[in-house]
Structure 1
Amino acid sequence: MLKDYLPWIVAGVVVLVLVVGGLVLNRVAPDTTATLRRRPRPPRDHFRSGDDASRAPLKRAGIVINPTKFADLPGVRERITETCLANGWGEPLFYETTVDDPGRGQAVQAVGDGVDVVCSLGGDGTVRNVASALVGTETPLGILPAGTGNLLARNLDLPVALEGAVAVALTGRNRRIDVGELVVGAAPMDDAPDESGAPETHYFVVMAGVGMDAQIMAGTNENLKAKVGWPAYMVSGLKHLVSPEFRVSVKVDDDMEFRRRARMVVIGNCGRLLGGLVLMPSARVDDGQLDTVIASPKGVVGWVPVATRVATRRRKGHPTLDHKVCKEIRVRADRPLPLQIDGDVVGEATEVTANVRPGSLTVRVSL
């Protein structure tokens, strides 16, 4: 009897084993179908090789140009563009300065356009105006020298050749430097009411001065400067060598105010002049201080020790050249005097106050 049901019993046991085994395996083994279903689908561009959509956007430079410095502006633009492309950057954006806006507005626009570095292509005046828009920001300034003096570039040991300067602006390291803040008032020394209006605030990265140095800047022949370069300033300097003296009252930081007779007062963020001359040997662009020189030589002969002191780069010298190091200085004159800021004569003033803004400007320098 049992023999008759044995095949059915074996078949039932086999089916039972298969069912139980299937349930066990279903609990232990992962649901690969569900796993594949839950896996996020790669983006469409994931499988594309060399497609522009998979690349990071190229960096771009904004070039603020003073067009009066170039006879072949299209050629200059082409050279800059080629250098940018050769260094792995995108095509630069160009902005031209105008008489009404010599650089600040263009730099603001460049930052708004999202450039990675803003470059000034012109003289020290263009550098100053472009820098004034970048003070206190993280956007670096690239300096492309195209002026007569190029003093900030020389003090930072930057290349003067266009392609080399562009390469440094794109691939150099960032360096934080100080900026001078100059408040121009017009209150005379007897504290009479100011009738000239609200004080004006300017930034300078090289030097600002009243008196003879501003007269030299104002008296330099532009045609001669275009032909011979910086020696044109020397010609103007000889004409103003015996400029009229003026009386100044000077207050340095928290010290007592003192008075001097002077022919010029120069407040500097850096000290190197044209032709390798150094007016302020201890001045550094990142020392958190300003250097001031008050020159009061008597006649032509009185300039000899001053010139010797500048040529030998001595910090201390003749008594007619007073040197002060400070964070703030106020100079008040007995009459309106011509005022220059980084080589640009901006008018006349009877009172100026200069403060240092340490490390407030980022500049691209050589590695």
Structure 2
Amino acid sequence: MPNDYLPWIIVGIVVLALAVALVLGMRTAARSTTALRRRRGRGRPNRDQFRSRQRNSTLKRAAVVINPTKFADLPMIRERITSTSHACGWGDPLFYETTVADPGTGQAEEAVAEGASVVCSLGGDGTVRAVACALIGTETPLGILPAGTGNLLARNLDLPVDALDDAVRVALTGRNRRIDVGELVIGAMDAHGQPVDGGRLDTQQFLVMAGMGLDARIMGDTNEALKQRVGWPAYLLSGFKHLVSPEFRTQVRLDSEPEFKRRARAVVIGNCGRLLGGLVLMPDAKVDDERLDVVIASPRGFVGWAPVIARVLTRQRKGHSTLDHKVCREIRVRVDHPLPVQVDGDVVGEATEINASVRPAALTVRVPIA
């Protein structure tokens, strides 16, 4: 009888051995798979990081070129902009900081190269101009986040000037508007656009106003510390000191019209006309009218400024004989001695001649949806 059961006993032992081997093999394979997963998982970002990268790879991103001198708590400003960007359905912004050597143009060019959907300037009018210079002639829009004293372009475009979150939302979700750009060539040049007598030409773009004489002196002499403490009224103090600045002789040619002469204290060339404090120097000027507005001021003494001030306060285009208002596409101004020249509030040097022209619809800017 035992011999009758022997084959079955052998079969049972074999089956049991195979079962044990199978279980052990499955456990070994599981350990190997787990170890392989662990090895592959080393150095990987966590899930949140992966989701953040996935989100930013599919969402639009804004670039923000910041003037760091305007802020005491820059990390907080970055957090606010990032939070508002996420709330608008955008990815993490790209941040760049201006330097003394490069006030924003190089940073904006880098942002365009990295694929930013909109490039924002966060600073004053000088930062706006520097960033805009990199975007002129491109399809990349400029978003303006005002943080300066004047914020003149933002005011002329009816953008938020005292609410950063609102300005970010406009930059990300507003509509595109094409505006003109003024181009100023500083230095004397001949009919072929070449420097005269071995001189040097300096080409600058402006979005608001450029000029020579009184306005440049005011900008150059405004105390920076006072401007940071009290804001735009600091310009009033500087302006009061220069109300009786010396006159100069000037020769002006508009487009192809004959040249005319004036004695003046200031020549201001505007792409738009609104000033600080709600004042309007050029009531008819618009950022997209394909022309430049020119004001030649020649008041004499304190009394002579009365009609000029009255004209600005009442926003009248026609004024006193000491205030000429012209419209053109090109202008050449020659003066009898070197005078300071300002471009969007920055004094860029001295010259005896400037030539300005308009570049129609050269820049795209984000503005509120009407």
Which range, TM-score by smaller chain?
Answer: 0.7 to 0.9
Normalising by structure 1, we get a TM-score of 0.83
**Are residue 225 (structure 1) and residue 196 (structure 2) matched?**
no
1:57 CA drift (Å): 1.1
Counterpart code for 2:59: L
Rounded to whole Å, the distance in 2 between the matches of 1:292 and 1:277 is 16
Rounded to whole Å, the distance in 1 between the matches of 2:179 and 2:256 is 24
Match of 1:284 among 283, 286, 300: 286
C-alpha change, 1:249 and 1:84, in structure 2 (3 Å) is: same
Q: How does 1:235-314 map to 2 (within 5 A)?
A: 235-314=237-316
Aligned to 1:133: 134
Rounded to whole Å, the distance in 2 between the matches of 1:55 and 1:340 is 41
1:54 CA drift (Å): 11
8 Å CA contact retained: 2:56, 2:91: no
Aligned to 1:73: 74
Q: How does 1:162-241 map to 2 (within 5 A)?
A: 162-186=164-188, 194=196, 197-241=199-243
Aligned to 1:107: 108
Aligned to 1:92: 93
Deviation track 1:154-211 (CA, whole Å, cap 9, x = no partner) reads 00000121000000000000000000011111469xxxx8467431111000000100
After superposition, the CA RMSD in angstroms is: 1.8
Counterpart code for 1:179: V
Counterpart code for 2:77: V
Rounded to whole Å, the distance in 2 between the matches of 1:55 and 1:165 is 22
Counterpart code for 1:215: R
Q: 2:65 is paired with a residue of what secondary structure?
A: strand
Q: 1:284 is paired with a residue of what secondary structure?
A: coil
**Are residue 358 (structure 1) and residue 360 (structure 2) matched?**
yes
Q: 2:269 is paired with a residue of what secondary structure?
A: strand
Aligned to 1:13: none
Counterpart code for 2:106: G
Q: 1:125 is paired with a residue of what secondary structure?
A: helix
Q: 1:244 is paired with a residue of what secondary structure?
A: coil
1:93 CA drift (Å): 0.4
- For the pair shown, the structure with the greater C-alpha radius of gyration is 1
Percent pairwise identity: 72
Rounded to whole Å, the distance in 2 between the matches of 1:53 and 1:239 is 58
C-alpha change, 1:261 and 1:112, in structure 2 (3 Å) is: same
C-alpha change, 1:247 and 1:85, in structure 2 (3 Å) is: same
8 Å CA contact retained: 1:187, 1:350: no
Aligned to 1:120: 121
Rounded to whole Å, the distance in 2 between the matches of 1:53 and 1:145 is 31
C-alpha change, 1:206 and 1:53, in structure 2 (3 Å) is: closer
Counterpart code for 2:235: Y
8 Å CA contact retained: 2:331, 2:355: yes
Counterpart code for 1:132: C
Rounded to whole Å, the distance in 1 between the matches of 2:152 and 2:256 is 30
8 Å CA contact retained: 2:55, 2:91: no
Rounded to whole Å, the distance in 1 between the matches of 2:287 and 2:72 is 33
Unaligned runs of 5+ in 2: 1-50
